[in-house]
Homo-oligomer: A and B are copies of this chain.
Amino acid sequence: MSDVQNQVMKGSFKLSRVGVRNVKKPVMVRRPGKDVTLIVTFDLFVDLPAELKGSHMSRNLEVLSRVIDETVRKQVSGLEDLGAMICQELLLRHEYAKYSEVRMSADYFLERSLGNGTSSLESYTLKASASSIKGGPTKKCIGVEVIGMTACPCAMEEVRKIRGVSKDDTNASITHNQRNVTSVSLEVPMDTQLEADKLIKIVESCLSSPTYEILKRADEAQVVISAHANPKFVEDVVRDVLGKILEEFKNLPDDVHVKAKSESFESIHKHNAYAERDTTLGELRA
């Protein structure tokens, strides 16, 4: 049977990524101690050789649907593993493709407590991806996006100078603080299991303070005091995340890709402050 997509092209160009974007599906994943429903937004791509007119777009949706259905029987422990399964299946169904790629994003929730009895369900974003080369390796990447708080060390120091307050004064000086979004992602080998919850914990420990949906008045004061005892530039946040990643994942190989970024919605400016590092564990260890 002939079809338009299979027309042979002459003198044309190969394409790096052809596929579909913004497909939403509910997915059940096995998280530590529980099964969780995630509402996942997917982008799916394969490459296209120069001699073929079109990619069979509907196959992307069929693969997605089938692999998600399988997860009812064959539990997946994370989005990145689901992505890897989809990538391998995409290469089987698009017989002309040498490369496949899947990107995923989903809201995610964890219980958090200030240690005073009150706890609340906090929201995070999971960002995972996977890619596969025909006859070659499949890679998977798991990342988290965490909303937290930064308090500026520079303005704190300047206010101290103006007020003549010593750095030894235990009552930290006032400064500007603000909402911050920090992300970290790691590209790991297929046989490595890396827990998103652990990445979230690392990021939260590197901010001036985590944030909480439910805070009674005394809790508010405690968060404010903690944040001011722990002032951070976006530069500090990214570096601390990188340092803790190195410590936590000593066994991961040098070629693991890591990307960390932090953006503060500055309370004293209309613009955002931003820092990022895009590197490998090997380079960080050097």
Q: Please give the residue numbers on chain A whose beta carbons come within 8 Å of chain B beta carbons, in ascending order.
A: 3-5, 12-26, 37, 39, 43, 45, 48, 53-55, 57-58, 61-62, 65, 107, 109, 120-123, 147, 149, 152-155, 157-159, 161-163, 165, 171-179, 209, 211-218, 220-221, 223-225, 227-228, 233-236, 238-239, 242-243, 263, 265-279, 284
- Separation of A154 and B224 alpha carbons in the complex (Å): 11
CB distance from A139 to the nearest CB of B (A): 18
Bound together, the chains give a CA A233 to CA B143 distance in angstroms of 33
Name the distance in Å between A51's Cβ and chain B's nearest Cβ. Answer: 12
* Closest Cβ neighbor of A223 among chain B residues: B268
Q: Quick one: which of B154, B171, B172, B225 contacts A4, CB cutoff 8 A?
A: B154
Question: Could you tell me if B224 and A155 are in contact, using CB atoms closer than 8 angstroms?
Answer: yes
User: Which B residues are CB-close (under 8 A) to A163?
Assistant: 171
Q: Please, which residues of chain B bring their CB within 8 A of the CB of A218?
A: 158, 162
CB distance A13 to B54 under 8 Å? Answer: no
Query: Which of B3, B57, B171, B211 is within 8 Å of A270, CB to CB?
Result: B211
Which 9 A-B pairs rank lowest in CB-CB distance, beginning with the nearest? A158-B221, A37-B37, A24-B123, A4-B154, A21-B272, A23-B271, A155-B220, A18-B275, A61-B214
Q: Is the CB of A3 within 8 A of B217?
A: yes
Partner of A221, one of B15, B48, B61, B155: B155
Q: How distant is A275 from chain B, measured CB to nearest CB, in Å? A: 5
Contacts known (A149-B267, A211-B267, A274-B21); A221 close to B109, Cβ less than 8 A = no
Q: Are B215 and A267 interface neighbours, CB within 8 A? A: no
Contact in complex: A173, B174 (CB < 8 Å): yes
**A172 to B171, Cβ gap below 8 A?**
no
Is there an interface contact between A213 and B176, defined as CB atoms closer than 8 Å?
no
Decide if B23 touches A220 in the complex (CB within 8 Å): no
Closest B-chain residue to A2, C-beta based? B157
A235 engages B284 (CB within 8 Å): no
Q: Which residues of B contact A61 (CB under 8 A)?
A: 120, 213-214, 271
Contacts of A12 in B (CB 8 A): 239
Residues of B close to A62: CB separation below 8 A: 214
Chain B nearest CB from A59 CB (Å) reads 10
The residues of B that contact A55 with a CB separation of less than 8 Å are: 235, 275
Whole-angstrom CA separation of A18 from B261 in the bound complex = 10
Contacting pair A16 B220 (CB below 8 A): no
Given A221-B155, A223-B268, A265-B179, decide whether A228 and B174 contact each other with a Cβ distance below 8 A.
yes
Q: What are the residues of chain B within 8 A of A155 when measuring CB–CB? A: 217, 220-221, 224
